[in-house]
Structure 1
Amino acid sequence: MRRPVLATAAAVAAAVLAAGCTYPAAGARPGATASPSVRPTVATTSTMPSGASDTARAIRAELARAKVVAERPHVPGYARDRFGKRWTDQHNGLGGHNGCGTRDDILARQLTDVRLRSGSRCVVESGTLNDPYTGRRIAFTKQQASKVQIDHIYPLARAWDLGAAKWTAQRRTDFANDQAANLLAVDGATNASKGDKGPGEWMPIAAGYRCTYVLRYLEVANTYQLAITRNDRDAAQTITRTCARKENGR
């Protein structure tokens, strides 16, 4: 999905405040209503503050560092393979060169009750996902693999337009397989609706994950020196007012 028509940042803020600090459902535009063998888990290096107020402060700190552009430009030439072979192990980040593909690494880390393929130390055959974007529990099986997809929190097509087109091929491959910061196993349909949108156009259905999603998006943007749009910035500023309420389930 590429370059949807953007609502104004003012519309985002107005919709949030008018609806009692709610955000659009996944995929909606701003303003819309809305025992088996298991591989060891690995902690991510992404900043995960201990309290809701810490999350809001962390978002504001990332915003202070962010490069903001008025809108997302169109940079010709994007294709998925410009970011390397899909889920390759040939990257330099967490899980790289471990003999397992990136997708299986993420599934093994996030799913519970993981079962591996017989004779394999890598291939995840089944498990259960506690989906951060919807709050639902999703049964994953290899036979219905599309029910759980791996999301790039800062999407590849968006990254291409906002700076990655100038990177080396290896840096793009590392970005596409950054297990520590930019990858998340999520509900497949929700991931499809998110497409290549940012926080200015899309928020998770699960209210309790919205502040974490925004923070992780900004952390990735700043780590890789990718720009964010003005709509992204405004949505992030607005969500900080609601972090304590949403992350405490109120």
Structure 2
Amino acid sequence: MRRVPFLATALALALAVTTLATAPAHAFTPPNIPSLSTATAELNALTVDVERNAGTYDRALFPHWITISGTCNTRETVLKRDGSGVVTNSGCAATAGQWYSPYDGATWTAASDVDIDHMVPLAEAWRSGAHAWTTSRRQAFANDLGNPQLWAVTDNVNQAKGDDDPALWKPPLTSFWCTYAKAYIDVKYEWSLTVDSAEKSALSSMLGRC
């Protein structure tokens, strides 16, 4: 039997340990992120228009988080969906687990450090057409689990984003810009929201990193 040299074995083991130490602990993402070609076609299909009705926005017009199943609301559902080893109590609150934030590459073990971000912010949606929706449609948008709209991310990164579109804010982790743009475009497309010219230009530039 051919024996593997000790040095080669040691190097392979060291490489494996290093890979495990540096790789994201968990990297689940929301569903239905489109391909580059699909996202490009969707971006080209979006209506370009100025934003409107900013002064009449009220977060309460987008009811969330709603009950999804049993005692679990939308936030708790996303924490379970996108976390690793998530443990919940009888009320569905996460008491343990691990969450990888793709916006900044950080990993968290306390649910309190994690926000559920609306990829297309609620105020941005309002300015881009949601002001004309019914409350029921706005509720569906704010709790959308079927499209890449809800992301588990570092809380202060989400707070830094606020209600900015990609012309004003981008994730700190530049390697995520491609995925961010594809997801953002898809949500706008699926919900028939408009983009302004600066926003479209920023999204096109981010797709260029794919």
TM-score grouping bracket, smaller chain normalisation:
0.7 to 0.9
Structure-1 residue corresponding to 2:110:
140
**What does 1:77-226 align with in structure 2 at a 5 Å threshold?**
77-84=56-63, 86-89=64-67, 96-117=68-89, 119-120=90-91, 122-141=92-111, 145=112, 147-181=113-147, 182-226=149-193
Structure 2 Cα separation of the partners of residues 220 and 82 of structure 1:
19
Structure 2 Cα separation of the partners of residues 103 and 97 of structure 1:
12
Give the AA of the match of 1:81.
A
Identity of aligned residues (%): 31
Give the AA of the match of 2:47.
K
1:97/1:77 CA distance change after superposition, 3 Å:
farther
Identify unmatched segments of 5+ residues in structure 2. 1-27
TM-score, structure 1 length as denominator?
A: 0.68
TM superposition shift of 1:44: 4.8
Query: Do the aligned residues in 2 keep the contact of 1:163 with 1:227 (CA within 8 Å)?
Result: yes
Q: Which has the higher helix share?
A: 2
Structure 2 Cα separation of the partners of residues 183 and 235 of structure 1:
21
Per-residue CA distance 1:191-232 (angstroms, 9 max, x = gap): 000000111111111122111111111111111111111111
Structure-2 residue corresponding to 1:248:
none
Q: SS at the partner of 1:175?
A: helix
- Greater radius of gyration (CA): 2
The ranges of structure 1 where at least 4 consecutive aligned residues each deviate by more than 3 angstroms after the TM superposition are 42-45, 96-99
Aligned length: 182
1:64 maps to 2:44: yes
Structure-2 residue corresponding to 1:229:
196
Structure-2 residue corresponding to 1:47:
33
1:98/1:211 CA distance change after superposition, 3 Å:
farther
Identify unmatched segments of 5+ residues in structure 1. 1-41, 50-54, 90-95, 244-250
Q: SS at the partner of 2:117?
A: strand
Query: Do the aligned residues in 2 keep the contact of 1:62 with 1:215 (CA within 8 Å)?
Result: no
RMSD across aligned positions (CA): 1.9
1:129/1:162 CA distance change after superposition, 3 Å:
same
